[in-house]
Amino acid sequence: MRHFLTLADYSKDEILEILTLAKQIKDETKARVFKDYMPKKTLGMIFEKSSTRTRVSFETGIYQLGGIGLFLSSNDIQLGRGEPMSDTSRVISRMVDMVMIRTFEHSKIEEFAKYSKVPVINGLTTEYHPVQLMADYMTIQEAGLTEDLVAAYVGDGNNMAHSWLNLAAKLGFELRIATPKGYEVDASILAKSLEMAKLSGAKITITNDPKEAVKGATVVTTDTWVSMGQESEKEKRVKDFAGYMVDAEMMKLAQDKAIFLHCLPAYRGYEVSEEVMESKQSLIFEEAENRLHAQKGVMVWLDRKRDEA
């Protein structure tokens, strides 16, 4: 049985296999063909943070696969009143077939997975957002930009930056990350990614200069400067991130064929300009839709692995 906690746990072949499956199911869905890949299966969805895309993609996804999703807000289940993760896991995983969790510290999802009888999917932790990167790479594939891919991530060294690091390190493409001083990516996640990059041939550059990162890139991406849980730091962060907005001028430094991606929600006038969000280069809504398809790929793949075990 496998969990889906970080992309670092997956090989290049596995990531591409999941995406091929996702694409196949996407094509079927577009043709309004809904096959029961996971009949009568239940997906428990535990949310300790807000969500639009993750909730809707997993809940719709499991339904279209023949199963059902249970939305479990931590405000409504005993977890929010202090029931331990280990107990929550041992109870819920005896009743459902798969669990998706959105939480704070990554160690919490590891704790849940350790006690779980069923596959656990990371729907975002403070450190990682792997399911988002599956949708992002699917969008890059569809845009025909996987050859000689040069991705530039401009902004906070957060969960999105870390999952980009993992993806590049596994798939072997060039990734440049530009953050302000003091907002760099986690040193140990970077070190592990650089280690994996030796095997894949990925070229990873870390800088404090957004222009250097974006120059000649084929994918430009960013994320909010204020992640969930950091709301009290907003004023300081907005000051510290001055000069890091992805605007039309910055996009001009990228290749003409470059696309703009953002996991959303986006804050226009902060990490990205309105103009870039609404430009032809922006594939943000294709990317958001691909959450549905990519998440189905992840669920069906994990379900099959569990059956094989």
* 295: annotated active-site residue: no
* 162: annotated active-site residue: no
In the complex, least distance from residue 31 CB atom to ligand NVA, rounded to whole angstroms: 30
102 is in an annotated binding site: yes
What region does 278 belong to: left with phi over 0, alpha with psi -120 to 50, or beta? alpha
In the complex, least distance from residue 138 CB atom to ligand NVA, rounded to whole angstroms: 17
3-state secondary structure of 175: strand
Pick what 29 binds: ligand NVA, ligand CP, none; C-beta below 5 to 8 Å, kind-dependent: none
51 is in an annotated binding site: yes
**Cα(290)–Cα(47) distance, integer angstroms:** 21
Question: Which residue in the list 55, 136, 262, 263 is annotated as catalytic?
Answer: 263
Q: Please select the residue that binds ligand NVA; options are 79, 204, 258, 263, rule is CB under 6 A.
A: 263
Residues 175, 168: contact at Cβ < 8 Å? yes
Q: Pull the structure tokens for residue 2.
A: 């496998």
Q: Which of residues 51-80 bind ligand CP (CB under 6 A)?
A: 51-54
Distance from the first to the final alpha carbon of the chain: 6
* 13: annotated active-site residue: no
Is residue 88 packed enough to be buried (19+ CB in 10 Å), middle (13-18) or exposed (0-12)?
buried
Picking from 132, 196, 203, the residue whose alpha carbon sits closest to that of residue 170 is: 196
How many Cα atoms within 13 Å fall on the side-chain side of residue 206? 20
Picking from 131, 97, 98, the residue whose alpha carbon sits closest to that of residue 5 is: 131
Q: Pull the structure tokens for residue 246.
A: 């992805």
In the complex, least distance from residue 265 CB atom to ligand NVA, rounded to whole angstroms: 7
In the complex, least distance from residue 46 CB atom to ligand CP, rounded to whole angstroms: 13
Separation in Å, CA 113 to CA 82, 99, 190: 18, 9, 24
Q: Which of residues 234-293 bind ligand CP (CB under 6 A)?
A: 263-264
Question: Which residue in the list 106, 176, 291, 293 is annotated as catalytic?
Answer: 291
Q: Which of residues 165-204 bind ligand CP (CB under 6 A)?
A: none
Regarding 228 and contact with ligand NVA (CB under 6 A), the answer is yes
Interface with ligand NVA (CB under 6 A)? 124, 158-160, 223-224, 227-228, 263
Binding site feature residues: 51-54, 78, 102, 129-132, 159, 223, 227-228, 263-264, 291
Q: Give me the active site residues, please.
A: 102, 129, 132, 223, 263, 291
Q: Give the residue ranges of the annotated binding site for L-ornithine.
A: 159, 223, 227-228
